[in-house]
Chains A and B, each alone.
Chain A
Amino acid sequence: MKILVPIKRVIDANIKVRVKPDQSGVELNNVKMAMNPFCEIAVEAALRLREAGVAEEVIVVCAGPANGKETLRTALAMGADRAIHIESENSPEPLAVAKLLKAVVEREEPGLVILGKQAIDGDNNQTGQMLSALLNWSLGTFISRLSVEDGAFHVTREVDGGLENLKLSGPAVVTVDLRLNEPRYASLPNIMKAKKKPLEELTADALDVDITPRLTVLKVEEPVSRSAGIRVQSAAELVDKLKNEAKVI
């Protein structure tokens, strides 16, 4: 079985984003970028299945601007076998990404697609679900456990009320949550080796996919910021403030 892992390049999770003064978006120039943390977990999950002998090959794919290749090299350094970059001027919307991925799935015929549950830039939480619809494949979102038994995927999903267990008939799309695993770091020798691994370059045109955006961003603003209040020195003072000043208890 092949496993396909779509990944995204985003602003590093530890960086505080700044909105551009002209409200056209957030500042991306000279900002540290990294693989979306959920995508790292997806790559790790795929590598573990290959190491367990369940899968033979892990293919990583990224859609977006040219520097996405750096993020693909990171995934190759973690251990993925080969990479596909679908270059576009801007980062396509989730529906467009799902259509590009569907075209890649039809070429590569993986038995499982593993994605992060959301990218921490747009916070959309859509791409995996959309891909599953376009393929009419089974879907397991927000998973914290994954195993393969008799060709079916057993997953545990983190839902608002607790946990839910599903058995997905293959082929399937799953999206991963934070507690599925702890992604490995790429070692220096593996970073060197990754430079020689195959990285195929594709375009939306070559895949015959229309990626014209459906949404127009009219503006991006800073939220109203909260300011620090006061410091209290005792439990009695805190209870008094909550009762008589804030009036919330």
Chain B
Amino acid sequence: MAILVIAEHDNDAVQAATLNTVTAARELGTEIDVLVAGHNCSQVGDGAAKIEGVTRVLLADHSVLEHQLAECLAPVIAGIATGYTHLLAPASTFGKNMMPRVAALLDVQQVSDISAIVAGDTFVRPIYAGNALATVCSADAIKVVTVRTTAFDAAADEGGTASVEMLSVAESPPLSEFLGQELTRSERPELTTADIIVSGGRGMQSSENFVMLERLADQLGAAVGASRAAVDAGYVPNDYQVGQTGKVVAPDLYIAIGISGAIQHLAGMKDSKVIVAINKDEEAPIFQIADYGWVTDLFTAVPELEAALAE
């Protein structure tokens, strides 16, 4: 049972989501290869070789793979798939974009966003925004799976001694062209790996008011998140969105401020260890899942909280 994990990376370093995916792979078998496909990414391959439990790193380094477009990545992965029982990638926008294209090339029905492994062919996955959990059994010879990273611990990124092998990449005419990206730069922890998240909703009323949440987040060493309503209203960029169609998070502490708690938002954060809700509407659904609820006006509560934390 050899398993292939597709590394998520930025040609510089392995992204944290890869480490959770390796842990899922280790539940399936002991022979684990990691594919690093990109351009000028040999240091990513060296990093992946140090991940605990990895047997071998396959390095596909080619200019057509620089931006990891699905059209270019999928044939590379499908081309080496036959040696494996499982292909795993994180259920991030990287994995969601590319993995079904791989599955279709292999004539496999992918299993998306698994939250538990029951057996080599049987997985648990949330459906209906996490309001139900389906246990599904795959009849395909190769299992193509994306992994809900919050459901699996991160593998250690030190201590591994995998070999690194180069993989040749066939030139293919590109179907799409990368024009550029606008990445949100932040000194704060990344949303999906943060221990604490301070999240704001429609109740914040403006992007200026989010500065207040950022101050609170910095005091706590937290990441800043948002509900769909706050993103749609333009208060914060799209990559802040937590929910069914945004990011799924499970920090130790999630502080929901001015968020009513639509099921689509709860789907993205209800596995947090401790949930705090601050909202002036005591009927807000968020209070039904909050460990600590505070019914109050957020505009007075947040400064008070800052002061109390400073003491």
Shortest CB-to-CB span from A50 to chain B, Å, is 23
Interface residue from A123, A179, A233 paired with B113 (Cβ < 8 Å): A123
Please, which residues of chain B bring their CB within 8 A of the CB of A206?
none
Contact check, A168 vs B176: say whether CB atoms are below 8 A apart: yes
Residues of B contacting A241 in the complex (Cβ-Cβ under 8 angstroms):
292
- B101 at interface, CB cutoff 8 A: yes
| Chain B positions within 8 Å of A203 at CB level | none
Assembled-state Cα–Cα distance A98/B109 (Å): 11
Bound CA–CA A174/B218 (angstroms): 38
* Stretch in B18-26, B52-60, B293-301 with 4+ CB within 8 Å of A: B293-301
Docked complex: A154-177 residues within 8 A CB-CB of B: 154, 157-169, 172, 177
Residues of B within 8 A of A220 (CB): 127, 132-135
Contact status A93-B109, CB under 8 Å: yes
Is A249 an interface residue when CB atoms closer than 8 A count as contact? Answer: yes
CA distance A132 to B69 in the complex (A): 13
A216 to B192, CA, bound (A): 31
B252 contacts across to A, CB distance below 8 A: 248
Q: A159-B239, A164-B181 are in contact. Are A141 and B97 (CB under 8 A)?
A: yes
Nearest opposing residue in chain A for B239, CB measure = A162
Docked complex Cα distance between A239 and B220 (Å): 11
* Residues of chain B within 8 A of A49, CB atoms compared: none
Instruction: Decide: A177 and B245 in contact? CB cutoff 8 A.
Output: yes
Q: Which residues of B contact A133 (CB under 8 A)?
A: 74, 100-105
Q: Which residue of A lies closest to B232 (CB)?
A: A179
- For B243-277 the 0/1 string (1 means CB < 8 A from A) is 01101000011000000000110000010011110
Are the CB atoms of A223 and B131 closer together than 8 Å? yes
Query: Is there contact, CB below 8 Å, between A123 and B220?
Result: no
Alpha-carbon separation in the docked complex, A131 to B253 (Å): 40
CB pair A228–B289 under 8 Å, yes or no, is yes
- Given A229-B291, A231-B293; A214-B140 close (CB under 8 Å): yes
Contacts of A178 in B (CB 8 A): 228, 232, 245
Given A162-B183, A178-B245, A222-B132, is A231 in contact with B100 using a C-beta cutoff of 8 Å? no
Instruction: Give Cα A138 to B70, complex, Å.
Output: 9
Residue-by-residue, is A223-249 near B (CB-CB < 8 Å gives 1, otherwise 0)? 100111111111110110110001011
Note all chain B residues with C-beta closer than 8 A to A249. 196, 220, 253, 309
A74 at interface by CB-CB < 8 Å: no
Query: Closest residue to B185 on the A side, CB-wise?
Result: A162
Selected A-B contacts with CB under 8 Å, 5 pairs: A122-B127, A136-B175, A162-B182, A166-B177, A220-B127
